[in-house]
């Protein structure tokens, strides 16, 4: 794993100069990429430890770090403008990571976006706001953001495999938000699956890990 920079970014773009941790295949040998977005209070290095569960030959793993370990400061159900400029800075950071994958000749069609909690919310908003075919979207204990789920996203994600997994009694994500987010991605043309698990809490289980492995196996 290597770090690009350890500076703190500007006030207007707080995540801009945060490091991007990497693991797995080197760029010259990578055939696919997985972008991992950590949750609030966590780190890029922490979410990279997940890849022990789904390490595949030929896959480059990229994990951007959020400034102060937080992609946005307020609740995901708060008005989006209350989470600015952090929210837009986070979306821009995902674009930068996609460009890093593209520099290794890995297009979005072979890039999976995976996020947990805040990272899952940010990944889902990025795909909904930047519709095109991706290698996949995995949202763990997260959903689309805002006081209400927007119904006016415009575009087509062209059969992108999408998975939303969450506890039925997650303390931060309402089950209805999972269903509403799944419907949005279906309307955008995704191949969508969603699962609610009993007694999972705010965590990741073996079923989700197995499904992530299935998504990655399709890319290499």
Judge whether 104 lies within some domain: yes
Count helices and strands (H / E) in the chain: 5, 7
Q: How far is CA 128 from the centre of its chain?
A: 12
pLDDT at residue 88 tops 90: yes
In a domain, 5, yes or no: no
> Is residue 13 in a domain?
no
Eight-state DSSP code of residue 117: T
Q: Which residues contact 40 (CB under 8 A, 6 or more apart)?
A: 69, 70, 71, 117, 118
Q: Is residue 139 part of a domain?
A: yes
Residue 116: DSSP 8-state: E
The whole-number average pLDDT for the span 42-46 is 97
pLDDT at position 3 over 70: no
Query: Two tokens at 15?
Result: 């995540």
pLDDT at 164: 98
Q: Give me the chain's average pLDDT, please.
A: 94
Nearest-angstrom CA–CA distance, 147 and 28: 43
pLDDT of residue 9: 63
Backbone angles phi, psi at 163, to 5 degrees: -130, 130
Mean pLDDT of 69-96: 97
Let me know if 105 is exposed, middle or buried by CB neighbors in 10 A (0-12, 13-18, 19+). exposed
**Is the predicted pLDDT of residue 151 greater than 70, yes or no?**
yes
Residue 148's pLDDT band, with cuts at 50, 70 and 90, is: very high
Distance set, CA 83 to CA 34, 87, 120, 160 (Å): 26, 6, 16, 28
Cβ(25)–Cβ(84) below 8 Å: no
Q: What percent of the chain has pLDDT over 70?
A: 96
What is the model's pLDDT at position 107?
A: 98
Of the CA atoms within 13 Å of residue 151, those in its CB half-sphere come to 4
* Residue 219, token pair as written in the block: 């890319």
**Domain coverage including residue 116:** 20-219
What is the C-alpha separation between 194 and 171, in angstroms, rounded? 18
Q: What mean pLDDT comes out for the span 70-78?
A: 95
| CATH at 160 | 3.40.50.1820
Q: What is the mean pLDDT of residues 132-137?
A: 98
How much is the pLDDT for 55?
78
Q: Is residue 11 part of a domain?
A: no
User: Could you tell me what percentage of the chain is helix, strand and coil, using 3-state DSSP and rounding each to the nearest 5?
Assistant: 35, 20, 45
Domain membership of residue 132 (yes or no) is: yes
In tens, the pLDDT along 154-186 reads 999 999 999 999 999 999 999 999 999 999 999
Instruction: Give per-residue pLDDT as tens, 8-29.
Output: 567 889 999 999 999 999 999 9
In a domain, 168, yes or no: yes
What is the number of domains present in the chain?
1
User: Looking at residues 198-206, what average pLDDT do you find?
Assistant: 93
Give the DSSP H or E segment for 167: strand 161-167
pLDDT in the model for residue 7? 44
- Is 153 a member of any domain? yes
User: What's the CA gap between 116 and 119, in Å, rounded?
Assistant: 5
pLDDT(6) > 70:
no
């Amino acid at each position: 794993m290597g770090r690009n920079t350890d500076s703190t970014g500007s006030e207007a773009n707080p995540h801009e100069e945060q490091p991007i941790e990497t693991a797995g295949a080197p760029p010259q040998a990578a055939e696919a990429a997985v972008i991992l977005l950590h949750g609030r209070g966590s780190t890029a290095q922490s979410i990279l430890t997940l890849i022990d569960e789904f390490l595949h030959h030929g896959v480059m793993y990229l994990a951007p770090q959020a400034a102060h370990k937080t992609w946005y400061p307020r609740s995901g159900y708060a008005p989006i403008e209350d989470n600015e400029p952090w929210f837009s800075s986070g979306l821009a950071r995902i674009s930068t990571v996609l460009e890093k994958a593209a520099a290794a000749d890995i297009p979005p069609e072979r890039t999976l976006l995976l996020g947990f909690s805040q990272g899952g919310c940010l990944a889902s908003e990025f795909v909904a706001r930047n519709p095109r075919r991706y290698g996949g979207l995995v949202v763990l204990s997260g959903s689309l953001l805002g006081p209400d789920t927007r119904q006016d996203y415009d575009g087509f994600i062209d059969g992108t495999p999408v998975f939303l997994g969450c506890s039925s009694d997650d303390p931060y994500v309402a089950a209805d938000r999972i269903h509403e987010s799944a419907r949005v991605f279906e309307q955008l043309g995704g191949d969508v699956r969603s699962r609610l698990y009993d007694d999972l809490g705010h965590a990741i289980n073996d079923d989700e890990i197995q499904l992530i492995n299935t998504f990655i196996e399709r890319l290499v």
